[in-house]
Structure 1
Amino acid sequence: MRTELASRPGDADRPNEDFASVGLPASGQGGSVVVLDGVTPPKDGTGCLHSVPWFTARLGGALTELTVSLPDVPLVDALSRAIARTAEAHASTCDLSHPRTPQATVVMARWSPETVEYLVLSDSVLLVESPDGVVTPFLDDRLSLLPRSALATDALVDSTVRNKEGGFFTAAADPSVSRRAVTGTLPHHEVRALAALTDGAARWVERFREGDWTDCFHLVREEGPRALVDRVRALERADTAGAFLGRSKTHDDATAVFVEF
């Protein structure tokens, strides 16, 4: 088995809000990948005493432990338990009902000798390659399908579409949000490799249009996750006029994980 991971903050002066892990049980049977993209908070606060990296470390750590130690618990339930555990850790000190309470997108994959399970919540992506080389993206596209008018301001997003019916969902403090994730199970013999990307790394496809998901997967396979992140950074620096990024921040935290069976 080959595993590789790369993660880089968007700003060297700020902590990386992404989280990534690969869990390989001591039994040698199976394993899991967990990738979170913490949602950068607005300047006017989140109702929480804790930072986004604190949240992603807690949630990601819980998910890594649960996906490995409880292999028979479905990923949806593992996410629900991890959200509940993380919420309990700061419920007495923080306003978890605040729309910007620390939160994150989620990509998970877990494999056994028989199956590969996956879960995607919000705008990160999981790429799965079959033995014949076909690459399939698994996406939660609810955010991308919203009209631009619904995303005009942070206040509008928070009041109308963030973690609301008809909008999009992230892992925050409500365990039931796990039921909103895109999930599935594949026979293991139909999966040769997989890659999990936060949207900062997925910019190579989604913003800069350097290639499609198959091209992106081949780049990661042949040159490694770090090469993808490096290329995204170069493209960001070159986009001085904002032709591709528009009003988005120049650099975003970028994480990519590759697993080949």
Structure 2
Amino acid sequence: MRSELISVPGDPARPDEDYASVGLPASGQGGSIVVLDGVTPPAADHGCLHSVPWFTARLGGALGELSVSRRDLTLSEVLSRAIARTADAHRTTCDLSHPRTPQATVVLARWSPESVEYLVLSDSVLLVGAPSGEVTAVLDDRLARVPRAMLTSHAVVDTALRNKEGGFFTAAADPAVADRAVTGTLPRAGVRTLTALTDGAARWVEKFAEGTWTDLATLVRKEGAESLITRVRTLERSDTTRRFLRTSKTHDDATVVHVEL
């Protein structure tokens, strides 16, 4: 197999809040990928002494370890245990009930000689490429389905939508959120590539409409993940009227993990 991983901060003066890893057990019989997009809190107090990168490193590390060492667990169980482990690391010092306690989107995939399992929570993306060249996007589109009129302020989102029924879910401090993730299992023979992206890299499709998910996966496979992020940065700088970006950050942390099985 071949793997490629790149993560570029949106602002070089700020820590990258994304997290990514590729795990390859010593047996050589499988592996896993983990991609997290840490949620940047508003400037006001969010009840935690720790930074978003601290949280994503803790959660991502737990996901990477459990996904390869506990193959008896489903990916939902892996996520649940990783959230609980991370919460235990700071529940005595921080208010984990705060709606803006550190949290992240999740893409988790694991493969064996027989199968490929996947889990997606919130608005990061997993692209599954078949040997035929067909690409399937695994998406958790609950945030995209929230009416824009409801996204009026941080207070409204936190009170009515964040980790709420009818809203959207992220990995924060409640292990039960793992049951909200989009999950599935595919035959290994039907999967050639896996490409995981945070929304900062997925902008090439989702905001700028430069191509389809198949086009994006082909670009990464042929030119590399760095080429995708370079193109996204060029598009962001060119959008001086904010026709595409609107109220979004001009540059967001952008992470891509690409694996050819």
TM-score (norm: length of structure 2): 0.99
TM-superposition CA deviations, 1:193-238 (whole Å, max 9, x none): 1100000000000000000100000000001111111111111011
Number of the residue aligned with 1:102: 102
* Residue number in structure 1 paired with 2:8: 8
- 1:71 Cα offset (Å): 1.3
State the Cα distance separating 1:150 from its structure 2 match.
1.3
Taking the aligned partners of 1:226 and 1:67, their CA distance within structure 2 comes to 26
Alignment of 1:108-123 (within 5 A): 108-123=108-123
Amino acid at match of 2:36: L
> Matched residue of 1:90: which SS?
coil
C-alpha displacement at 1:252, in angstroms? Answer: 0.3
Match of 1:165 in 2: 165
2:37 corresponds to: 37
CA–CA separation in structure 2 for the residues paired with 1:125 and 1:197 = 5
* CA deviation vs aligned residue, 1:110-164 (integer Å, no higher than 9, x gap): 0000000000000000000111110000000000001001111111000000000
CA RMSD of aligned residues (A): 0.5
The one-letter amino acid of 2:6's match is A
Counterpart of 2:63, as a letter, is L
Q: Corresponding residue for 1:256? A: 256
Q: Which amino acid aligns with 1:131?
A: P
Q: How does 1:119-198 map to 2 (within 5 A)?
A: 119-198=119-198
Q: CA deviation at 1:45?
A: 2.0
Q: Structure 2 stretches of 5 or more lacking a match?
A: none
1: CA distance, partners of 2:45 / 2:34: 27
Deviations 1:155-210 (A, max 9, x none): 10000000001100000000000000000000000001110000000000000000
Structure 1 stretches of 4+ with a deviation exceeding 3 A read none
